[in-house]
């Protein structure tokens, strides 16, 4: 963890931290789950300025270990709710919502109980686990993204009531990458994702769309924001101000160079965009996939790159197949002469 103003190193040891996130309501404070080295599961905070660490919540038995891949998404914007999946004694996998205000677990959904009830096991893969889990930005829903497409239960992107755990709807019937955000009215919660097909007559092209929460029993209808000229996109971050998400464009060299390819750009919910920069990374491995993220105030963009277009080679060499890059920061409060706020392109 470094201070932006002078890049001073503030926290040097994050050993044992699982799913760390900036706390949205506490300045310069990180919140995270502890290590899985023992069978006591805790939530902690660390102040990046003072270095002080505090235990916020200790999960009751029989909770034992956090499942970090299923708990990597953000807290609700007011900092009250966080969510994830944890293992209990005997191997029970429990989806949970943690209320940091009352220090309680109002929602606990056992994966086995879901498949014994409303969900049918997949004929090939059995009891399919979630891809990711999050509290919705305004603290209304527990959102579960399943690694299975469709409109049957335990498929797509499902919403659950944060007070009761009752199924509330499905925003999306797929599992492409996306992020949760809030629209400009300050009330509408949405999921922005890469749609597999744009509406006719462009249904042979991909698109960026958003779908409102919680959704009906089937899936919310997409609002198409951008029809793309080429292949897939890479990453979306909607953690900034209402009505805007940061998109990382992928690169497809098989069909020439197109707008937004290899770019970072802001996608607004009114369909307009602000093009920021080319990231110039090889994206040869996970650590150098740019995965750009937007700060909560919308001022800073951070992304990873091995700057392969400048060095002439990628960083995935030898045993290092994940790549070795650096962190780059864009300050959007500074003049950006090459940025262009463009009209909606459909």
| Whether residue 340 has pLDDT greater than 80 | no
- Single pTM value for the model: 0.92
C-alpha pair distances (Å), 97 with each of 25, 66, 106, 231: 18, 13, 6, 36
* Paired tokens of 184: 């400009």
What separation in angstroms does the CA of 70 have from each of 130, 134, 203, 209? 7, 9, 32, 24
Strand pairing category for 273-278 and 263-268: antiparallel
Residue 63 φ/ψ, nearest 5 degrees: -60, 140
The span from the CA of 77 to the CA of 238, in Å, is 12
The pLDDT of residue 217 is 96
Mean pLDDT in the chain?
91
- Under a CB-based contact definition with an 8 Å cutoff, are residues 128 and 147 in contact? yes
Q: Quote the pLDDT of residue 228.
A: 82
pLDDT digits (tens, 9 = 90+) for 271-315: 999 999 999 999 999 899 999 999 999 999 999 999 887 777 889
| pLDDT tens digits, 303-332 | 999 988 777 788 998 888 899 889 999 999
Q: Flag whether pLDDT at 41 surpasses 50.
A: yes
Give CA–CA dist 65/40, Å, rounded.
Answer: 7
Taking only the tens place, the pLDDT of each residue in 80-105 is 999 999 999 999 999 999 999 999 99
Residue among 337, 323, 283, 277 nearest 301 (CA): 277
Residue 135 bridge partners (DSSP): 142
Q: Which residue has the higher pLDDT, 87 or 337?
A: 87
């Amino acid at each position: 963890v470094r201070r932006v103003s002078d890049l001073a190193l503030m926290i040097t040891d994050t050993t044992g931290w699982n799913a760390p996130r900036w706390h949205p309501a506490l300045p310069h404070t990180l919140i995270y789950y502890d290590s899985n080295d023992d069978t006591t599961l805790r939530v902690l905070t660390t102040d990046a300025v003072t270095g002080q660490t505090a235990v916020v919540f200790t999960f009751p038995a029989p909770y034992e270990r956090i499942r970090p891949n299923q708990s990597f998404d953000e807290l609700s914007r007011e900092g009250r709710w966080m969510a994830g999946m944890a293992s209990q004694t005997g191997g029970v996998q429990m989806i949970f919502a943690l209320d940091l205000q009352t220090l309680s677990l109002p929602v606990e959904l056992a994966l086995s109980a879901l498949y014994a009830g409303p969900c049918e096991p997949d004929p090939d893969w059995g009891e399919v686990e979630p891809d990711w889990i999050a509290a919705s930005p305004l603290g209304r829903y527990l959102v579960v993204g399943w690694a299975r497409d469709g409109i049957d239960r335990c498929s797509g992107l499902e919403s659950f009531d944060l007070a009761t755990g009752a199924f509330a709807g499905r925003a999306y019937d797929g599992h492409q990458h996306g992020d949760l955000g809030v629209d400009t009215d300050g009330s509408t919660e949405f999921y922005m994702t890469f749609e597999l097909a744009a509406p006719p007559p462009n249904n042979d092209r991909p698109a960026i769309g958003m779908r409102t929460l919680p959704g009906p029993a089937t899936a919310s209808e997409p609002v198409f924001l951008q029809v793309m000229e080429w292949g897939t996109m890479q990453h979306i971050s909607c953690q900034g101000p209402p009505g805007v998400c940061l998109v990382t464009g992928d690169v497809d060299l098989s069909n020439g160079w197109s707008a937004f390819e290899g770019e970072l750009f802001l996608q607004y919910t009114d369909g307009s965009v602000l093009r920021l920069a080319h990231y110039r990374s090889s994206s040869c491995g996970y650590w150098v996939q740019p995965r750009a993220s937007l700060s909560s105030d919308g001022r800073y963009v951070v992304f990873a790159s091995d700057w392969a277009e400048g060095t002439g080679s990628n960083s995935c060499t030898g045993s290092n197949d994940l790549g070795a890059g650096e962190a780059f920061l864009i300050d959007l409060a500074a003049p950006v002469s090459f940025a262009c706020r463009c009209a909606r392109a459909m």
